[in-house]
Amino acid sequence: KSEYTVTCLAGDGIGPEITDATRGVLDTLTSNSDFTISYRDALIGGAAIDAANDPFPQETYDACVSGDSVLLACIGGYKWDSNPREMRPETGLLKMRSSMNLFANLRPAKAIPQLMDTSTLKPEVLEGTDVMVVRELTGDVYFGQPKGIDVIDGERVGYNNMIYKESEIRRIAKVAFEVASKRSKKICSVDKANVLDVSQLWRDVVHEENKNYPDIEVTDMYVDNAAMQLIRAPTQFDVILTGNIFGDILSDEASMLVGSLGMLPSASISGDGPGVFEPCHGSAPDIAGEDKANPLAMILSAAMMLKYDLDRPKEAQLLEDAVEKTLEAGWRTGDIMQEGGKPVGCKEMGQRVSEELAKLMK
């Protein structure tokens, strides 16, 4: 295939800025390649609430499922934080994930030599870190029913339900086994089975599924210990398999193994139909509109899109290499600034990546 259609969701906060930077880099890629990408912009999150009174409009869904892939920046912001739940940006994101059946979220965190000292952790701890968090994305306490805030016995009671069906655990476990079989064949499954029944089922099903992948070694770890181990000795991990909420928290933590949340990409995939490629970070309202955001997480998400949805592994590698060269050349947004770094804004960072990419493609 040589003509792709990508639905582009710029969302809120720093979303439009990092989207422009990423599109610029993709334009450089396609203008020197044998394939084209045509974009369809669509609304999600706060932008969609303002324009269409719906955080995930039907037209956006239609655009997403009819294209080859979806590139998403980020959603959310103070403006919508006190809206009723169904009118919040986050609800739009969750609707997208569940309606597109994006049950698997891959969040790689690989230490980058050039950024060793932008992390708050010691370089000798980070050296050699290469973790892939496989996060279940359409179940858990995020989606469990019943949920709500009710008045019970004269006071307000808030509740959500942490729930997993066997089939949901099995299908995400399969993804982790497949991922692990192409890496170091080691999975650490993270749960809270000492306390939670849902976690006991998680653990049981993961080990049942392990019988179908006898060459993969599975260990289990409680999530509280995992949170500690991840910063104590991150190189002990390869694939981390976990549920929706634990994966959300551990992946933000894992971003410090790289140096900044602004570096962490992700792929949200279903196995059939288009995936959604989105940075792990949010809309960073504290720096939005100031040309300060780091676009590299989204650029690296675009690389994951090339690899997983557009079947262009060579071009994906080129993008990753261009990012590495840009870091080698010393260009730094504020979040990854270090001694001797050359300060750039979001826009210029995109241009610098394009320059490096153009050199690599000559």
The residues of the shown chain that bind ligand NAD, judged by CB under 6 A, are 14, 74-77, 90, 93, 261-262, 278, 281-287, 293-294, 297, 335
From 20, 220, 238, 252, the catalytic residue: 252
Among 17, 136, 191, 248, binds ligand IPM (CB under 6 A): 248
224 counts as catalytic: yes
Between the CA of residue 281 and those of 75, 105, 134, 219, 290, what are the distances in Å? 9, 13, 16, 28, 17
Non-local (6+) Cβ contacts of 311 within 8 A are: 1
Rounded to the nearest 10°, the torsion over CA 328, 109, 271, 14 is -70
From 12, 140, 191, 192, the catalytic residue: 192
Count the site residues for Mn ion by CB under 5 A. 1
Buried b (16+ CB within 10 A) or exposed e, 182-202: eeeeebbbbbbbeeeebbebb
From 12, 140, 248, 309, the catalytic residue: 248
CA distance 341 to 147: 48
Q: Which is nearer to ligand NAD, 74 or 300 (CB)?
A: 74
CA distance 283 to 320: 23
Contact map string, positions 68 to 97, toward ligand IPM, x by CB under 6 A: --------x-------------x--xx---
For tokens 């980058």, what's the residue?
112
- Among ligand IPM, ligand NAD, Mn ion, none, residue 335 binds (CB under 5-8 Å by kind): ligand NAD
192 counts as catalytic: yes
Give the 3-state secondary structure of residue 40.
Answer: strand
> In whole angstroms, how close is the CB of 334 to ligand NAD at the nearest point?
7
Rounded to the nearest 10°, the torsion over CA 45, 51, 57, 63 is -90
Q: Which is nearer to ligand IPM, 85 or 207 (CB)?
A: 85
> In whole angstroms, how close is the CB of 132 to ligand NAD at the nearest point?
18
Q: Which is nearer to Mn ion, 94 or 306 (CB)?
A: 94
Binding of residue 248 to Mn ion (CB under 5 A)? yes
Q: Which helix (H) or strand (E) holds 4?
A: strand 3-11
Among 112, 280, 299, 319, binds ligand IPM (CB under 6 A): 280
142 counts as catalytic: yes
- Give catalytic residue positions: 142, 192, 224, 248, 252
Task: Name the site residues for ligand IPM (rule: CB under 6 A).
Answer: 76, 90, 93-94, 248, 280, 282
